[in-house]
Amino acid sequence: MATLFRGYSTYGKRHGPFTLKDYDLAKQDITNHFYTRQGERLMNPKFGSIIWNLLFEPLDESVIDIIKEDCQRIVNLDPRFELDETRTHEHEHSLSVQLRLRYVPANKLEVLELTFDKQIEEAV
């Protein structure tokens, strides 16, 4: 399969190559979107996730629904992915969201686990 998407990222790397392709690039892009708090991006206040604002809320059905809606909104913004399922788990100091995603160009199902840590949020 020919390369469809090509990008650049230094996240988690000390030396080159810094290029990412196809699924790795799409995964990094969607991870960046979730790990950006909504309102943080200059000139684009709607970019990012509201999950960071919900870390200290009790994880009841209404909060779970808000998280699922936010996940659906973010995944819908990236045409490379379709969201099949969202699961939310609360831990002592963190909240994890497990997304079952279909990578459309390869018609491949993948599970993306995102962790939102309350202790990191308190330090910021």
Peptide bond into 17 cis (omega under 30): yes
110 close to 103: Cβ distance less than 8 angstroms: yes
Helices (H), 40-90: 61-76
Q: Looking at the domain that runs over 6-123, which CATH code has it been given?
A: 3.10.450.40
Using 50, 70 and 90 to split pLDDT, how confident is the model at 13?
A: low
Q: pTM, whole model, 2 decimals?
A: 0.83
97 close to 108: Cβ distance less than 8 angstroms: no
Q: What is the pLDDT of residues 25-60, one digit of tens each?
A: 889 889 999 999 999 999 999 999 999 999 989 999
* 48 Ramachandran zone, left/alpha/beta (phi>0; psi -120 to 50): left
Q: What is the pLDDT of residues 57-108, one digit of tens each?
A: 999 999 999 999 999 999 999 999 999 999 999 988 889 999 999 999 999 9
Report domain extents, the chain.
6-123
CA pair distance 60, 41, nearest whole angstrom: 29
